[in-house]
Amino acid sequence: MARRKYRKTQDEAAVDIAPMLDVVFIMLIFFIVTTSFVKETGVEVDRPSAESAVVKERGNILVAIRENGEIWMNRRQIDVRNVRANIERALAENPEGQVVLVADQASVTGLLVTVYDQAKMAGASSISIATEATD
């Protein structure tokens, strides 16, 4: 009888961690799904500085304009004629998306205005131009 008593107490003392692992994995999936991912343009741009710069929490659709006239979106170079179609596609995926134009300070202003116009015609309700805050 001593053996049975020993086995019984040994079985009772075991901790089952399977439910805890289930909860941890469910929490991990929850955090992955609810995280907003940062989208990048794919190129580095020397943004102009401004004293009135404000940090914008959401900038879901980023369009970069380089100093040599290249336009980048979603880590790939696009033609100026395709800006509207790409922004329309991005807005279809995320209707609440805000367009942020990241123009190099040495880029041509006419190209910035053209891209701004294309974003407006694509149906973007909020379009911003990215700058760096001065100290």
The two most distant CA atoms of the chain are separated, in Å, by 93
Contacts of 91-96 with CB under 8 Å at 24 or more apart are 91/61, 91/122, 91/123, 91/124, 94/60, 94/61, 96/60
Tell me if residue 73 falls in helix, strand or coil: strand
103, 40, 118, 117: which is closest to 69 by C-alpha? 103
Tokens for 133, please give them: 């805050």
Given a cut of 70, the residues of the chain with pLDDT beneath it are 1-13, 35-42, 46, 51-59, 135
SS3 content of the chain, % helix, strand, coil (to 5): 40, 15, 40
Distance in angstroms (rounded) separating the CA atoms of residues 128 and 117: 12
Number of H helices, E strands in the chain: 4, 7
pTM above 0.75, yes or no: no
pLDDT of 72 reads: 93
pLDDT of 40 reads: 64
DSSP code of 81? G
**Inter-helix orientation angle 109-121/83-93, to 10°:** 40
